Structure 1
Amino acid sequence: MNKVEKFSIKQTVKQMEGNIVSDMNGEKVMLSVQNGKYYNLGALGGEIWDQIKEPITIEDLITTLRTKYEVEQQQCEEQTIAFLRQLMDEGLVEAE
């Protein structure tokens, strides 16, 4: 997998295959078949996970999130990129 130190908002991200995802009380939980780990993505993390099912630029993802939630541009970018970086470090997403 290609690790990316710093994401560009122009990059495309998408889910890696091989994860079992379920809704539990409004939050997404996931089991990675590849590494055998369990993750609680939470409500917002679950929203991001749903949005990256198909390849999407980080810029479009942030626009979608800002349309749905009242959040400042910079805060949305920072938190979204930090979350995506965590997912990438766990081998759950890939970036192009």
Structure 2
Amino acid sequence: MENVGAITFTTEIRQNKDIIQTYAEDNLLLMNIISGKYFEFDCMSAEIWEGISNETTVSDLITELTARYEENASHLQDDVLEFLGFLAENGLIETNTPAGQ
């Protein structure tokens, strides 16, 4: 897996192995050991992070979150795609979009 263009519903995603993580109170703290950048995320962002601890597709992640929170799927999709884009831009996840997708 590598970081590639746009993230779509068929994109396979997982946490970058070069990330150190810990919790401080209710927040997830991540540090990219390659770039030296660190990040602090709230509870929902931490759930997304945990949801990609093993390789999954964006579609499967959104399905799981929608079922868990009974939230409007289109609203949740937009938020998750935006957050995953942020994670990819900062080297926190690895992505792979199958050819022709």
Q: CA deviation at 1:70?
A: 3.1
Equivalence for 1:33: 33
**1:65 aligned partner, one-letter code:** L
RMSD: 1.2
Aligned residues: 95
2: distance between equivalents of 1:73 and 1:2? Answer: 25
Higher RCO (C-alpha 8 Å, min separation 6): 2
User: Equivalent pairs: percent with the same residue?
Assistant: 25
Separation (CA, whole Å) in 1 of partners of 2:76 and 2:61? 10
Inter-partner Cα distance in structure 2 for 1:4 and 1:41: 24
Gaps of 5+ in 2: 97-101
TM-score (norm 2): 0.87
1:39-61 Cα offsets, whole Å, 9 max, x none, are 01211111111110110011110
TM-score by length of 1: 0.91
CA–CA separation in structure 2 for the residues paired with 1:2 and 1:37? 17
Distance in 2 between the 1:4 and 1:46 partners? 24
